[in-house]
Amino acid sequence: MPEQGREQWASRLGFILAAMGSAVGLGNVWRFSYVTGENGGAAFLLIYLACIILIGIPIVMAEFTIGRKAQSDAVGSFEKLAPGKPWKAAGLMGVAAAFMILSFYGVIAGWIVYYFINYLTGNLWTAPAEGYEGFFVDFITNPWHPLLWQFIFMALTIAIVYVGVKKGIERANKILMPLLGILLVVLSIYSLTLGGASEGLAFLFTPDWSALGDPSIYIAALGQAFFSLSLGMGALITYGGYLSQKEHLPGAAYSVAGLDTLFAIVAGVMIFPAVFAFGIEPDAGPGLVFMIMPDVFDSIGFGGGLFGLAFFFLLAAAALTSAVSLLEVAVAYFIRKFSWSRKKAAFIIGGIIFLIGIPSSLGNGILGNVTIIGDRGILDSMDYVASNIFLPLGGLIIAVFMGWGWKKADALRDSDFGDTVLGNLWLFLLRFLAPIAIFLIFLSSIGLFG
Ligand code: PHE
């Protein structure tokens, strides 16, 4: 029985759309492009794809199965299915990860909203005096402008969670996500005409095998796979918990993972040819999309600004549906655990997350000299810890919980796999390959095999 007063998705499509809306976001465009750029391109992409198929999809399935079975939030699901056992640590880490990830997600999404407004006013239709790169740097180093836009984006996120995820997002996902997909395809075709096509495609698709010797690209690929799939922190458990009727879970998992990966690859084909055409370094970091895309729109000539307007609008919408799923993980937990109303939880938790994000927001301006992990600034350090450590660790626990903590027959039945080859392969991946691979990648990232 679902808990009292819990929402349910309106339709079968509602769940898939919501899960896709969670998965497709800044991770596919902003994060995928800059992390791929920093990690040398094609070799990284290959490991990323392996992580998606061998580790990501099996854990997506585990989260869906746990969520639908338990009909509760990220922590409550474990408490319900395994009372008194320590598995719920994964859920608590997930809630912590939601706070961390949304804190900086709101900052980057704020940048996107700012760019949208600048295309709306026409300000960026032609290059400003200081150039597009200069414009970006001026903005992110300003003492308070990034904060304002982070605030606006977080207010929107809170407003949607406040009225309830179901009403808030099912409709937006149905219309805006396909539009974003179409726009990315159109822009990637255009980008291939800009003169950097061969270099850009080679960067993305022709692996430099020697890069595989660098342990840091494995953890980066693993973290990107988890981040992009919204995996390892109970977001998909939480959404699965709003599932009422019979849903074929494996089909849903393949669709979500497939679509999410497609978005990332198309975004890569859009960005990297342009990176080479306009002579920007692929490893320019988190500002990559902001520095490159305005050049692309500018080069379209008359009307190019409209593409910029649509691009930043649709990307902001995609970011919003992802941010909603992040906030929902924490909100659903607080509603149940402390019997808060949805409104109170959305407001308070969202507010706290905004505050936690302030240092990330100021990390290019007045806090610009602060580095935490290696030479990473505040935002990048948050991202690194949450995405590369918390998410995979949460995923590892979820994999072991499903693979070893459930009776095999129950797992096969509750996942809708049944006793099939795929079902058994799934359990094998959860039991052995995923946990061992995550563990080894952790070890290698702390230099154990170096
Ligand atoms: N997957 C989202 C994106 O790509 C981010 C996200 C991570 C959302 C974790 C929920 C949980 O933008």
pLDDT of residue 173: 78
Burial class (CB in 10 A: 0-12, 13-18, 19+), 328: buried
Q: Cβ distance 27 to 52 under 8 Å?
A: no
Q: What is the pLDDT along the chain (450 residues), one digit of tens a residue?
A: 445 557 777 667 778 888 999 999 999 999 999 999 999 999 999 999 999 999 999 999 999 999 999 999 999 999 999 999 999 999 999 999 999 999 999 999 999 999 999 999 999 999 999 999 999 999 999 999 999 999 999 999 999 998 876 666 677 778 899 999 999 999 999 999 999 999 999 999 999 999 998 989 999 999 999 999 999 999 999 988 887 656 789 999 999 999 999 999 999 999 999 999 999 999 999 999 999 999 999 999 989 999 999 999 999 999 999 999 999 999 999 999 999 999 999 999 999 999 999 999 999 988 888 888 888 899 999 999 999 999 999 999 999 999 999 999 999 999 999 999 999 999 999 999 999 999 999 998 877 765
State the closest ligand 1 atom to the C-alpha of 23, by its place in the atom list counted from 1. Answer: 1
pLDDT of residue 1: 41
Domain positions in the chain: 12-445
Ligand 1, CB cutoff 6 Å, lining residues: 22-23, 25-28, 101, 227-228, 230, 233, 235, 322, 325-326
Q: At a CB cut-off of 8 Å and minimum separation 6, what does 346 contact? A: 158, 161, 162, 327, 331
Q: At a CB cut-off of 8 Å and minimum separation 6, what does 63 contact? A: 231, 234, 235, 236, 237, 240, 398
For the chain, the maximum distance between any two Cα atoms, rounded to a whole number of angstroms, is: 66
d(CA 162, CA 327): 10
Question: Tokens standing for 404?
Answer: 């070893």
Q: Which amino acid is at 189?
A: I
CATH code for the part of the protein at 12-445: 1.10.4160
DSSP per position, 79-142: HHHSTTSTTHHHHHHHHHHHHHHHHHHHHHHHHHHHHHHHHHTTTTSS--TTHHHHHHHHHHHS
d(CA 238, CA 76): 10
Indicate the helix (H) or strand (E) that contains 230.
none
Most ligand 1 atoms within 8 A of CB, residue of 161, 238, 325 to mutate: 325
Cα-to-chain-centroid distance, residue 183: 19
Dist. CA 223 → ligand 1 center (Å): 11
Nearest protein CA to atom 11 of ligand 1, as residue: 230
Q: Identify the CA nearest to 22 among candidates 66, 60, 75, 77.
A: 60
Q: Cα torsion at 263, 175, 158, 315 (round to 10°)?
A: 40
Question: Phi, psi (5° rounding) for residue 122?
Answer: 85, -5
Nearest protein CA to atom 4 of ligand 1, as residue: 27
Q: Identify the CA nearest to 15 among candidates 4, 27, 5, 7.
A: 7
